[in-house]
A = this chain, B = another copy of it.
Amino acid sequence: MVEIPKTCRAAVLVEYGRPLEIQEVAVPEVERGGILVKVEMAGICGTDVHQQRGELTIKSPLPNIQGHETIGRIVRLGEGRVIDAAGEPLKVGDRIMWAHADCGECYWCQIERDPVLCAKRSGYGWAPPSALRGGFAEYEYVTPKTNVVKVPDELAEEEAVGVGCAFRTAIAGYERFGKVGLMEDFVIQGCGPVGLYSTVVARESGARTVIVVGAPANRLELAKKWGADHVIDIDEYQDAEERRQMILELTHGRGPENVVEASGYPPAVAEGLEMIMKGGKYLILGQTSAATTPIMPSRINEKGLTIVGSVSAHIVHFYRALQFLKAKREKYPFGEIISGTYRLEDINEALANMASAKEIKPAIDNRER
């Protein structure tokens, strides 16, 4: 049996805007159905930067352990927890990932059957140190109501860790998007992790031409490796109308059937509505700001558009994302999204490099060396 320490180190957010502090925190007891994992790798998301600065609309109570995209190795399985969401047996030593914990009882969980909308949803990276529910730590506690999936053995941590936030978001979004016809064109707005994963999913779903609009150049380079036929660097082409003309030329003068918004930039929506083909579809994945932006509503009905918004994901999307990585890992360098790894004690440097966009996605690497 694995020896479990009484305490472990964690990076704790004590005050908004101040560097995280490495503290020794208690490791909780494992209840019936709970799981204790050793954190192998914890991805750092753009949201983590905003959360640390206190810029999010909803603020976590302080102190808090951040980190919501984590691969953990099981060190203790609570009684009765014997299978993962796909029905595969679980045992100590398995690597897992996990979704939010839904209440399972409310109108959204029961009648709408869409736990993403659950008002009592409880995420990770959002709780006090005593709960040990954040990835920026040595150990993490997965609660009984949290659904988990095993990480396939073939996948390196760098390949899989992005499933925890950006990739499952993209997979859930495409599921909600409805049927896409074969040989349709796509524009992806944004080349952060959500944009990159949206690119490779479009490429592997029968798209004809995939165009990525974003910056900076290193992300666009990765977009090309992940299946983009064309990239448009917004640092170089700063005028939306010029970009629209470039896209028209690449799409037979009609615009793309499908546009995926993964930019987080409110005015991107108006730009998307202009560039999209008549009768086309728009998937909005990246908006987080409470800001408003001017749009022309008549574009929506006069062009006959369908717009689908999607946020977060269920455990099924984690599962599909991991299966995708396993199936396509020889075709695409998935690990390159983790542009740099850091030890837990260097978490503040990692956050700074995410904030400056020096990194595509940095990660905390706790693996033994």
Contacts and interface: CB of A to CB of B under 8 A. Distances in A.
A111 B206 CA distance: 17
Interface in A73-123: 83, 85-87, 104-108, 110-114, 116-117
B110 A208 contact: no
Contact of A85 (B111, B176, B182, B293): B111
Nearest to A106: B87
Contacts of A87: 106-107, 110-111
A320 B176 contact: no
Contacts of A174: 182
- Best-buried of A110, A175, A266 by chain B (most CB within 10 Å): A110
Nearest to A201: B182
Contacts of A308: 305-307
Contacts of A176: 304, 306
A327 interface: yes
A174 B355 CA distance: 44
B309 A300 contact: yes
Nearest to A108: B278
Copies in the complex: 4
A1 interface: no
B304 A306 contact: no
Given A183-B320, A292-B294, A301 B279 contact: no
A295 B296 contact: no
Which 6 residue pairs of A and B lie closest in terms of their CB atoms, listed nearest first?
A: A301-B309, A300-B309, A85-B110, A292-B294, A87-B107, A287-B298
Interface of A: 83, 85-87, 104-108, 110-114, 116-117, 147, 171, 174-176, 178-179, 181-183, 201, 204-206, 208, 254, 261, 266, 269-270, 278-279, 284-311, 314-316, 319-320, 323-324, 327
10 contacts: A85-B105, A87-B106, A110-B315, A112-B316, A113-B314, A183-B324, A266-B297, A292-B295, A292-B296, A305-B308
